[in-house]
Chain A
Amino acid sequence: KNEVEQSPQNLTAQEGEFITINCSYSVGISALHWLQQHPGGGIVSLFMLSSGKKKHGRLIATINIQEKHSSLHITASHPRDSAVYICAVLFSATPRLLYSGGGADGLTFGKGTHLIIQP
């Protein structure tokens, strides 16, 4: 079964702390997606990656394909970083599935990490 596990489920930290959120998945993937969801429900895409590391401002995402694991880091955290962070993966599909016009999986999501940064 294709599964995505996130940890921790909830995280409360003080402003300025270094934050790490983890995501593990069960089988080979084509891509991993980190998303941010604010209390109003809107979702913003933070990173898409299939290997290595990406950085955008205070956010860093890394992925280890061999270990089937990704981390999202937030440096110098701020109260405005408070949100739910969701990991989603696109599991690899065989060429047959890819070109047969259907059957390939869409994104599979983790349950999310509720992050609260206190001033």
Chain B
Amino acid sequence: KAGVTQTPRYLIKTRGQQVTLSCSPISGHRSVSWYQQTPGQGLQFLFEYFSETQRNKGNFPGRFSGRQFSNSRSEMNVSTLELGDSALYLCASSLDFTHRWLAGGGSETQYFGPGTRLLVL
């Protein structure tokens, strides 16, 4: 069973540009979560998509957006890039991780992709 894939793996952009990152979840998984990791802030939750709907959103500005397609593949977009957006962006897929654990009785985990390293110059 193929794991979570992310493209591209590395990306260099300049301030003011926009960027789109892609995540393909494990086959059969409908939930995709996105995370940002920086040396200063560590890992932070960006948003979660389930069945093409954004279900949860972290505390990030509106420049960060995403979407999910009918095949569960997800993209995230960052517009008007800033130097501070340089980070490792990770996605993780699951059957329905957040909902099941919040409702009680959860047992599944999330599977992380290798990440996309974004450098903003």
- Interface residue ranges, A against B (CB under 8 Å): 30-31, 33, 35, 40-45, 48, 50, 86, 88, 90, 92-93, 98, 101-112
Contact = CB atoms under 8 A, between A and B. Distances in A.
Contacts, number: 80
B57 interface: yes
B114 to A, nearest CB: 5
Interface in B42-56: 42-48, 53-56
B45 A102 contact: no
B71 interface: no
Interface residues of B, number: 35
B114 A106 contact: no
A3 B104 CA distance: 21
Contact of B112 (A44, A105, A106, A111): A44
Interface stretch (B21-29, B73-81, B95-103): B95-103
Contacts of A111: 42
Nearest to B57: A102
B18 interface: no
A112 to B, nearest CB: 6
Contacts of B109: 33, 45, 48
A30 B106 contact: yes
Contacts of A105: 45, 56, 58
